[in-house]
Amino acid sequence: MSVIGNTALRTAAPRARGGVVQSARDSLVVAKRNLIRMARIPEVVIFGLIQPIMFVVLFSYVFGGSIAVGGSTDPSTYRQFLMAGIFAQTVTFATAGASAGIADDMHKGLIDRFRSLPMARGAVLTGRTLADLVQTALTLVVLAIVAVIVGWRIHEGILKALAGFALLLLLGYAFSWIGALIGLSVRTPEAATSGGLIWLFPLTFISNAFVPSDNMPTALRYIAEWNPFSATVQAARQLFGNLPVGYPVPSAWPMQHPVWASLIWSVVIIVAFRTLSVRKYRSATA
């Protein structure tokens, strides 16, 4: 049997379609590969769920009652307020998945294999971020169910709620591009995991996610109100109808127009970090 030398099988130099079609197809091939991996390492997905579920339960029952939102210390008011914050924090953790996954591919030499193939430039990274998007969406579904169980409700109708989730996913997608750049920049998968996570804590805590920003010291408040993350939290809260009556909306522009601010921030992050990541990918050496 001559599989190798058989010239009839010489499919060498296949035509590259080029352009958007090839880009999309290659990205989907890589995304599928990453989704298969996720399905075969379910621990990663499961641990990714435990942390936000713990946050939902702990914040609701431990802090609820001590934190005043809109002048009310009613635990159930805080619970409504809190959920958008935890959802948003959860989607940003997609960063760690992307950075660890890509660093691992670099480490194992898979990136070299991909880079020697006639595939679309950004497809390895786009495929990874798309797979992360699917994972984030699944996480959000589970988290929303847990939130409903502890008493969270939407008040503006299903369409607006879906729009809120869409903005959250877009933010998650944007952050996974930051993760991609981190994954390409660090030398080991271990460094990528912590490098993908640590900076998320100040980012998500100096924001309106867990407490209203109006009680913060001026400097922090300023940061919190312009924090890209806060814009999405505020937008989701608005779209879910979770802003308590009498909640003072800060005068900063992103807080006044949170949906627009959230969209703009996410798109800017995607464009900037995608450009940087693809450039880095092309010159990457394992």
Partner 1 sequence: MPGAIYAEGLVKTFGDVRALDGVDLDVPEGTVLGLLGPNGAGKTTAVRVLTTLIKPNSGRAVVAGIDVLKNPTEVRRHIGLSGQFAAVDEYLTGRENLRMVGQLYQMSARDAKVRAGQLLERFNLGEAADRTAKTYSGGMRRRLDLAAALVVSPPVMFMDEPTTGLDPRNRQQLWEVIQELVAGGTTLLLTTQYLEEADHLAHDIAVVDHGRVIARGTSDRLKARTGGERVEVVVHEARDISVADGILRSFGKGGSKIEEHTRKVTVPVSGGAKLLAEVIRELDARGIEIDDIGLRRPTLDDVFISLTGHAAEVEEERANGAGKPGGKPDGTQEGEREGVREGEPEGERERRRPVVGGPTRQDEEAAT
Q: How far is the CB of 196 from partner 1 (least distance, A)?
A: 20
Q: What angle do CA 5, 10, 14 make, to 5 degrees?
A: 150
CA distance 203 to 210: 12
Give me the least distance between CB of 108 and partner 1, in Å please: 7
d(CA 14, CA 12): 6
Does 115 interact with partner 1 (rule: CB under 8 A)?
A: yes
Q: What angle do CA 194, 62, 158 make, to 5 degrees?
A: 80
Q: Would you say 164 or 183 has its CB closer to partner 1?
A: 183
What residue type is 254 in one-letter code? P
- Among residues 23, 24, 33, 138, which is the contact residue for partner 1, using CB under 8 A? 33
Cβ burial 187-225 (10 Å sphere, 16+ → b, else e):
eebebbbebbbeebeebbebbbbbbbbeebeeeebebbb
CB of 185 to partner 1, least distance (A): 17
Residues 55, 63, 114, 205: which binds partner 1 (CB under 8 A)? Answer: 114
Q: State the nearest-atom distance from the C-beta of 49 to partner 1, in Å.
A: 20
Q: For partner 1, which is the closer residue by CB, 116 or 218? A: 116
Determine the interface stretch with partner 1 among 16-24, 141-149, 152-160, 206-214 (rule: CB under 8 A).
Answer: 16-24
| 34-93: contacts with partner 1 (CB under 8 A) | 36-37, 40-41
User: Total number of residues binding partner 1 (CB under 8 A)?
Assistant: 41
Sequence-ordered list of residues with C-beta below 8 angstroms from that of 200, at least 6 positions apart, any chain: 89, 92, 93, 95, 96
Residues that bind partner 1 (CB under 8 A): 1-7, 9-17, 22, 25-26, 29-30, 32-33, 36-37, 40-41, 108-110, 112-119, 123, 283, 285
